[in-house]
Amino acid sequence: MLKDFCAYVTDHTSAKDHIIAANEGNAIALAAGYHLATGKNGVVYLQNSGLGNCINPLTSLTDKEIYSLPVLLLIGWRAEPGKKDEPQHLKMGKITLPLLDTLDIPYSIVPDSEEEAKQMMQKAVHHFATAKTPYALIARDGIFEAYSLQKEHKTDFPLNREEALKIVASQLGEKDIIVSTTGKTSRELFEFRETTGKNKEESHKQDFLTVGSMGHSSAIAIGIALQKPRQKVYCFDGDGALIMHMGILSTVGKLEPANFNHIIFNNFAHDSVGGQPTAADAINILELAKANGYKTVFRAETAEEIKNRISKMQSIDGPTLLEIRCNKGARKNLGRPTQSPQENKKQFMNFLQQRD
Ligand SMILES: Cc1ncc(C[n+]2csc(CCOP(=O)(O)OP(=O)(O)O)c2C)c(N)n1
C-alpha cells in the first residue's frame, strides 16, 4: 500500500535519513533514538500488518507513561472494514483504529485533498509540540499517486524466485514437510501444486502456507521438526522475513533439529510488497547460519546448483541452510491460494498425523 510512497522517499532522501528497518518495532526504536539525538520527530511508515511488531516499543518506550517520545506513524490500512482483502489482513484491518485508541495514539485518516492534508499535518505538529507522543496518519488504499522508483537496483542472477522455487519443490519428495513464508513465495508454491498435482484436492497437503505472520515461518517449521524427528522439514523463507526475526537462528543453534532445512530465496528485496531493498546485501547469510549452529550451509544460483544442493540436503542430517540467490520480480497473473487458511491447516495436520 505504501509502495509508491516508499519509492518516492527512496529517490528523494539519503540512505542515512531513510532506513529500511528489519522490522517495524525496530523502526519505532530507531525513530526514538533519532529524537533523543536531534530533538526532531522521525517518521515510521508501515503496513498495518506490522503494527503488532510495534506494540512493545509503543507501550514501553514512546508512551507518555514512560519516556514520552514523538513519532509520526504512517500506516497503510489493509482490510479497511467494508473492503475486500486477504484473510491474513482481516483482523488487523478491523482493529487498526481501536488498537490506536487503546494505545492512546491520536490519528487522522489521510484526506483526499492537499489542503486538508496540510491541516492534518498542522494537527500532528501541534500534537508533537504539546503532547510529545506518537501521532498516526492512516493511509487508505489508493491515497498516494503512482510513482516508479528511479534508483532501482537490479540483480543479474540466472533465475527469479518462482523459477528457483519450482526446481526446489520438484526435487523434494512426497513425504517432505514444507512451511513457506509470507507473500509471493507461498502464492507461487500454491500455484505450483495446482499445476503439477495429480489430485488437486490433495496436492497442497504437505505445505503449510504462512500467509501472515511474516518472519515466523522458520519458527513454525522448527516447532514441527522437533515433534516429527523422522520427517524432513523444509522452510521456504525470504531474505526480508529471515532478517525480520533473525533471533530464531539462535534457537536452531540451541536445539540443533537434525531434520530442519532452511531455504532462503534471497532476492535482496521485499519483492512481494514493491521490491524495497532489504539489508541482505550487507550481511553474509551463510556465515550467519554457521555462527548460529547450522551444520551445513550452501549457496546456489543456477538450476544445476540447486538440484545438487537439494539432493545433498535430502541425504544428510541438519540443521542445514541453502541460500538461493535470485532476481526479484514475479508474474503479473500470479494468483492467490484458493484454499482457505483453515482448509490448509486441516489437510496439513492430517498429513502430519500420518507421519511419526
Ligand atoms: C509484520 C509484517 N510486516 C510487513 C508485512 C508486509 N509484507 C508481506 S510480504 C513482505 C515482503 C517479504 O520479503 P521477503 O521475505 O524478502 O520475500 P519476497 O517478497 O522478497 O519474496 C512484506 C514486507 C507483513 N505481512 N507483515
The response to whether residue 259 sits with its C-beta less than 6 Å from ligand 1 reads no
The position carrying cell 540466472 is 158
> Cβ atoms within 10 A of the Cβ of 321, count?
29
Would the pTM count as exceeding 0.85?
yes
What is the structure's pLDDT at 355?
75
The response to whether residue 183 sits with its C-beta less than 6 Å from ligand 1 reads yes
| Residue type (1 letter), 90 | L
What is the structure's pLDDT at 124?
98
The position carrying cell 503494527 is 51
Nearest CA residue ID for atom 5, ligand 1: 49
Beta strands in 160-288 (DSSP E): 177-180, 207-209, 233-238, 260-266, 269-270, 276-277
Rounded to the nearest angstrom, the distance between the alpha carbon of 272 and the centre of ligand 1 is 6
Q: Are 68 and 132 in contact (CB under 8 A)?
A: yes
What is the structure's pLDDT at 284?
98
- Shortest-distance atom of ligand 1 to CA 275: 20
Q: Are 95 and 89 in contact (CB under 8 A)?
A: no
Shortest CA distance to 215 belongs to which of 235, 233, 234, 229? 235
The response to whether residue 271 sits with its C-beta less than 6 Å from ligand 1 reads yes
- Shortest-distance atom of ligand 1 to CA 214: 26
What is the structure's pLDDT at 200?
74
- Shortest-distance atom of ligand 1 to CA 181: 15
**Intervals of the chain under pLDDT 70:** none
Rounded to the nearest angstrom, the distance between the alpha carbon of 66 and the centre of ligand 1 is 31
What is the structure's pLDDT at 172?
97
**Diameter of the chain by CA atoms?**
64
The response to whether residue 347 sits with its C-beta less than 6 Å from ligand 1 reads no
The three-class DSSP label of residue 58 is helix
Q: Are 139 and 76 in contact (CB under 8 A)?
A: yes
What is the structure's pLDDT at 15?
84
Mean pLDDT (the chain) is 96
The response to whether residue 181 sits with its C-beta less than 6 Å from ligand 1 reads yes
